[in-house]
Structure 1
Amino acid sequence: MATTRQQPVWQDPKTQSKAETLPALKVYNSLTRSKTPFTPLDPAGKAVTWYACGPTVYDDAHLGHARNYVSTDIIRRIMRDYFKFDMKFVMNITDVDDKIILRGRQQHLFGEFVEKHKEIDEEVLDTTTKAYAAYIKKNLKELPEGVDPQHFPAESMRVYQKVLFGGALEGDGPAGDKEAKVKMHIKTATSAAEVLSSASDTSKKIKPAEFYARAEDVLLPYLDSLYGAALDTSDHSIFTKLTKKFEDRFMEDVRALNCLDPDVLTRVTEYGPQIVDFVQKIEKNSFGYATSDGSVYFDIDAFEKAGNNYSRLEPWNRGNQELQADGEGSLTNKTSEKRSDADFALWKSSKPGEPYWPSPWGQGRPGWHIECSAMASDVLGPKIDIHSGGIDLAFPHHDNELAQSEAFWANQETGHGHDHGDGTHQWVNYFLHMGHLSISGSKMSKSLKNFTTIREALQRGEWTPRGLRIVFLLGGWHDGVEITPELVKAGESWEDKVQNFFLKAQDLQRNPKTSTPNADADSALAEALSSAQSALDVALCDSFDTPAAMRTISQLITQYNAREKEMLSPETVLSAARWITNIVTVFGLNGSARVDAANAIGWAGADIPDVAKQFIYPAAKLRDEIRRRAIAGQISSEEVERLASEDVAAKHQEMNAVPYAEVLSQFQEDVRALGSKSAPSKDYLALCDKLRDVQLWDLGIYLEDREGGQPAMVRPVDQQLVAERADKEAREQAKKDAKAKREKEEAEKAAKKLEQAKLSHLDMYKTKEYSAWDDEGLPTKDAKGDEIPKNKTKKLKKEWEKQKKLHEEWKARSTS
Structure 2
Amino acid sequence: MASTVREQPPWIPPQVRPNVQLPPLKIYNSLTRRKDDFVPIDPAGKAATWYTCGPTVYDDAHMGHARNYMSTDILRRILKDYFGFQVKYVMNITDIDDKIILRGRQHYLLEQFKQEQDGSLDGPVPETVITTTKAAVAHYIKKNLPLLSETTTPENYATESEKTYKKIYEGKALEEGTLPGDKEAKLKVHLKTVSLAVEALQSHTKLSEFYIKTEDILLPYLDSLYGSSIDSNDHSIFTRLTEKFEKRFFEDMEAVNVLYPDVLTRVTEYVPQVVAFIEKVIASGFAYATPDGSVYFDIDAFEKAGHDYARLEPWNRNDKGLLADAEGSLSNKTTTKRNESDFALWKASKPGEPSWPSPWAPGRPGWHIECSVMASDVLGKAIDIHSGGADLRFPHHDNELAQSEAYWSEGPRVQWVNYFIHTGHLSIQGMKMSKSLKNFTTIRAALSQPQWSARALRVCFLLGAWESGVEVTEDLLKGTTAWEGKLNNFFLKSKEIANNHTAGSVSGTKGEQDTQLLAALEKAKSDLHAGLCDSFNTPVAMRAISDLVSEFNVSKGVSDETVLETARWITRMVTIFGLDAKGDLNDANRVGWSGLDLPASAQAYVYPVSRLRDQIRQMARSGTVDYTAISQLADTSVPTSPPTSTDSASNPYEKVTERFRSDVKGLSTEKAAAKDLLDLCDQLRDTHLWNLGIYIEDRDAPIPALVRPVDRSLQEARAEKDMAASAKLEAKQKREAEEAEKRRLLNEKAKISHLEMFKTPEYSAWDENGVPTKDKDGEEVAKNKRKKLVKEWERQKKIHEEWLKSNSA
With the length of structure 1 as denominator, give the TM-score of the two structures: 0.80
Contact 1:499 1:606 in 2 (8 A): yes
Contact 2:290 2:335 in 1 (8 A): no
SS in 2 for 1:121: helix
User: What's 1:706 paired with?
Assistant: 699
1:669 CA displacement: 5.9
User: What's 1:322 paired with?
Assistant: 321
Distance 1:426 1:760 in 2: 99
Q: Which moved more, 1:229-238 or 1:61-70?
A: 229-238
Query: Structure 1 residues 596 and 621, CA, compared in 2 at 3 Å: closer, same or farther?
Result: farther
1:306 CA displacement: 5.3
Q: Does 1:617 align with 2:618?
A: no
Query: Structure 1 residues 341 and 725, CA, compared in 2 at 3 Å: closer, same or farther?
Result: closer
User: What's 1:775 paired with?
Assistant: none
1:83 CA displacement: 1.7
Q: Residue 443 of structure 1: which of 421, 432, 435 is its match?
A: 432
1:651 CA displacement: 4.5
1:466 CA displacement: 2.3
Contact 2:137 2:194 in 1 (8 A): no
Contact 1:132 1:218 in 2 (8 A): no
1:351 CA displacement: 0.2
**Cα deviation per residue 1:89-116 (whole Å; 9 max; x = unaligned)?**
2212111101111222233334445664
Equivalent positions of 1:3-22 (< 5 A) are none
Q: Does 1:682 align with 2:675?
A: yes
Distance 2:313 2:752 in 1: 97
**Cα deviation per residue 1:117-151 (whole Å; 9 max; x = unaligned)?**
745634532441243123223xx6xx777667322
1:349 CA displacement: 1.1
Question: Match for 1:58: what amino acid?
Answer: Y
Equivalent positions of 1:383-402 (< 5 A) are 383-402=382-401
Question: Match for 2:172: what amino acid?
Answer: F
**Cα deviation per residue 1:31-83 (whole Å; 9 max; x = unaligned)?**
33322222233333323222211111222322222211111111111122212
Aligned residues with identical type, % of pairs: 51
The alignment yields a C-alpha RMSD, in angstroms, of: 4.6
1:398 CA displacement: 1.7
Contact 2:23 2:83 in 1 (8 A): no
1:286 CA displacement: 4.6
Q: Residue 546 of structure 1: which of 538, 563, 568 is its match?
A: 538
Contact 1:702 1:716 in 2 (8 A): yes
1:305 CA displacement: 5.4
User: What's 1:426 paired with?
Assistant: 415
Distance 1:545 1:5 in 2: 28
Q: Which moved more, 1:123-132 or 1:574-583?
A: 123-132
Distance 1:599 1:366 in 2: 51
Equivalent positions of 1:265-664 (< 5 A) are 265-304=264-303, 308-334=307-333, 337-410=336-409, 414=410, 425-509=414-498, 519-561=511-553, 563-564=554-555, 566-595=556-585, 598-609=588-599, 612-613=602-603, 615-636=605-626, 639-640=629-630, 643=633, 645=636, 648=639, 651-652=642-643, 653-655=645-647, 656=649, 659-660=652-653
SS in 1 for 2:681: helix
Distance 1:186 1:2 in 2: 54
Distance 2:739 2:335 in 1: 91
SS in 2 for 1:432: strand
User: What's 2:164 paired with?
Assistant: 155
Distance 1:28 1:755 in 2: 77
1:303 CA displacement: 4.3
Query: Structure 1 residues 171 and 517, CA, compared in 2 at 3 Å: closer, same or farther?
Result: farther
1:530 CA displacement: 0.2
User: What's 1:134 paired with?
Assistant: 143
Contact 2:481 2:712 in 1 (8 A): no
Distance 2:666 2:18 in 1: 68
1:336 CA displacement: 5.3
Q: Does 1:103 align with 2:100?
A: no
User: What's 2:765 paired with?
Assistant: none
Distance 2:400 2:566 in 1: 46
The alignment of Structure 1 onto Structure 2 pairs a total of residues equal to: 770
User: What's 1:715 paired with?
Assistant: 708
SS in 1 for 2:181: helix
Query: Structure 1 residues 187 and 540, CA, compared in 2 at 3 Å: closer, same or farther?
Result: same
Q: Does 1:121 align with 2:130?
A: yes
Distance 1:608 1:484 in 2: 31
Equivalent positions of 1:41-52 (< 5 A) are 41-52=41-52
1:585 CA displacement: 1.6
1:389 CA displacement: 0.7
Contact 1:129 1:196 in 2 (8 A): no
**Cα deviation per residue 1:320-373 (whole Å; 9 max; x = unaligned)?**
343333222221224655344333222211001211122333321111112222
Distance 2:85 2:57 in 1: 30
**Cα deviation per residue 1:246-271 (whole Å; 9 max; x = unaligned)?**
22332233322221222232222233
Question: Match for 2:184: what amino acid?
Answer: K
1:744 CA displacement: 9.1
Gaps of 5+ in 2: 1-14, 118-124, 762-769
Query: Structure 1 residues 498 and 254, CA, compared in 2 at 3 Å: closer, same or farther?
Result: same
SS in 1 for 2:397: helix
Contact 1:435 1:477 in 2 (8 A): yes
Distance 1:322 1:315 in 2: 15
Contact 1:3 1:25 in 2 (8 A): no
With the length of structure 2 as denominator, give the TM-score of the two structures: 0.81
User: What's 2:58 paired with?
Assistant: 58
1:484 CA displacement: 3.5
Q: Does 1:82 align with 2:75?
A: no
Distance 2:25 2:618 in 1: 55
Query: Structure 1 residues 800 and 583, CA, compared in 2 at 3 Å: closer, same or farther?
Result: same
User: What's 1:183 paired with?
Assistant: 184
User: What's 1:243 paired with?
Assistant: 242
**Cα deviation per residue 1:506-543 (whole Å; 9 max; x = unaligned)?**
34445789996783333122111101101111111111
